[in-house]
Every structure is written in C-alpha cells, then in structure tokens.
Chain A
Amino acid sequence: MQTEYTNNDFEIAGFFASMRARDLKRDVPEFPVRKKTNTMVLWTVVSGLAASLLLGLFLINHQNHEEILLRDQIVFYLFEDTHHSTTYFEISAESSMDAWEPATQFLLEEH
C-alpha cells in the first residue's frame, strides 16, 4: 500500500518528482554481462593438462629408474689339486654353496 501524503507533503513530493525527472537524464552504466564459459571446452582443457602432466611425470620417473645392486660381488675360488700338486682358482660373480669346500677337507680325505 502506498504511503498517503498529507497536504503539507505535496511540496516534498514535488521536490522528489523534479529530482526523479532530473535523474531520467542521468547516464546509467550498462548491465554487466556475464561471460558464458563453455564448460565442455574448459573440462577438456583441464583434463588434457592433467593427463599431460601425469604422462610427463611417469616418463621422467621411468627414465631415471636403474637397477641398483646392493653391492658388486666377485668371488675368487681357490682349488688345490693334491694329486698333481697344482693350485688353481676360479673367478665368479655369483657365490654358490655348492662350490664351497672347508679348509680342513684334506684331513678327511687322508684318513
């Protein structure tokens, strides 16, 4: 419901009416237009960037990966042929329990 004016209010109402008339000539800025972003394009770009980043990280990690041995191992096997009075040795990169011979083996053989 509109506010009712008394007789004394007409002067005030006239004041505001002339102010309104004056404001009709006033420049009003344009309504701000929202930029409509294409969400499909945006998602494609974001997904593409994420995939490229993951692929890059994977490739970098893969190239740097080396098999690191705990230690380099070379075993010298020393054999003594008592029958021919000769000594020979073998060099191997692998150790094997099969080739191991106790140092007191000759005692067992002689008895």
Chain B
Amino acid sequence: MTKEDLEVFLKQHYRLSYLWARQCCWFDSEMAREVLHIALLKILEGKARFAGQSTDKTWLFSVIRITALEQLRKSQKHVDLAEFSELNNFPDGNEDSDSGGFHEGLLKKLPARQREVLLLVFYHDRTLEETARILNISPGAVSTHYDRGKKKLRELIEKQKHHADRIYQ
C-alpha cells in the first residue's frame, strides 16, 4: 500500500476510528483525539505496518487500541480490570448528555473486556474472530466475554428501565 493509498484508507475509516478510539479511552473525547493522532502518525510513518494477517480495518482498530492502552498507562488512568469489575462505582448513566449519557453510562459499568467485545461485535459489526485479533486474545476468551457481557448488559438495561418506571409512577 502506497502512502497515498494509506491516507485514502485512513480517511475512509476516520470517523469510526475516532469513535473506537473514544470507546478505548473510557469515552474521553480529548484523549481519543490525541490517541487517534498518534495512531495515524504510527501508520503513516511506517512504525505500524499492515502484515496482511487480518483485514485492514481489523488491523487499524488493533493499532488504535494498543495506542490507547499506551496513553492510558502514561496518564495513569488505567484501572485494573479485575478491580474495576468489582467497583461498579460509575454514575447511573444520567450524567452529561454530551458524553453519551445512558449508553456510555451503562457500558462503563461493564468490565473492560466485556465492553470492548460488545462494542466491536454490536457497534462496529466485527466477527468474533476479528474481535479476537483486535483484542489479541483467543476466540474462546472472546466467546466467554461476549456471553457474559450480553448477560450483564441485559441486566443493567432491565435495572435502568425498572428505575425509570419507578420515577415516572
């Protein structure tokens, strides 16, 4: 792929790349902007190269995720996944409407791996195999996170509906 082709490809997927970067950064728009910029530079300067082992979009998402993890570690915002799943201390999803409110509030309550798997499968239409490649985990592990994530999210949605019904009654 020439540099010009690469630029065209990145432009084509730019919007979804930004949204994925934002989802990898706990829905922090400012950090997502920075992460995406660094990831694009990595690609355009040839530091991250497409080896042809997956689809180009899968590779792009993988580069963005790795860059987001690096940036999160640098900014010390990284939360231990095991600890996070126990805490569940994020707001109930009625916060700032600009930050995504209901949807993002509920997704933040999921353990990180489950959230990533659900976003890639349902939001970005990736297959379980592609999701495994992006997250660099086995397809079996993806399947487990997929099932548990769906169950947990369904419970959260039900809980939220129940909560809303009580308010309106």
Contact = CB atoms under 8 A, between A and B. Distances in A.
B19 A11 contact: no
A12 interface: yes
B100 interface: yes
A34 B69 CA distance: 25
Interface stretch (A13-21, A53-61, A73-81): A13-21
Given A8-B150, A8-B154, A28 B14 contact: yes
Interface residues of B, number: 28
Question: Most chain-B Cβ atoms within 10 A of its Cβ — which of A1, A13, A18, A23?
Answer: A23
Contacts, number: 52
A67 interface: no
Contact of B103 (A8, A19, A29): A19
A32 interface: yes
Contact of B154 (A2, A11, A20, A34): A11
A62 interface: no
B100 A29 contact: no
Given A23-B19, A34-B44, A15 B150 contact: no
Contacts of A3: 121, 127-128
Interface size class of A (residues with CB under 8 A): 20 to 34
Contacts of A20: 123
A8 B66 CA distance: 32
Contacts of A110: none
Given A8-B150, A32-B37, A16 B123 contact: yes
A18 B18 contact: no
A26 interface: yes
Given A3-B121, A23-B19, A29-B18, A9 B150 contact: yes
Contacts of B157: 11, 15
A31 interface: yes
Interface of A: 1-3, 8-9, 11-13, 15-16, 18-20, 22-23, 26, 28-29, 31-32, 34
17 contacts: A2-B125, A8-B154, A11-B157, A12-B154, A13-B122, A15-B106, A15-B122, A15-B157, A19-B104, A22-B100, A22-B103, A23-B19, A23-B100, A26-B19, A28-B14, A28-B19, A31-B11
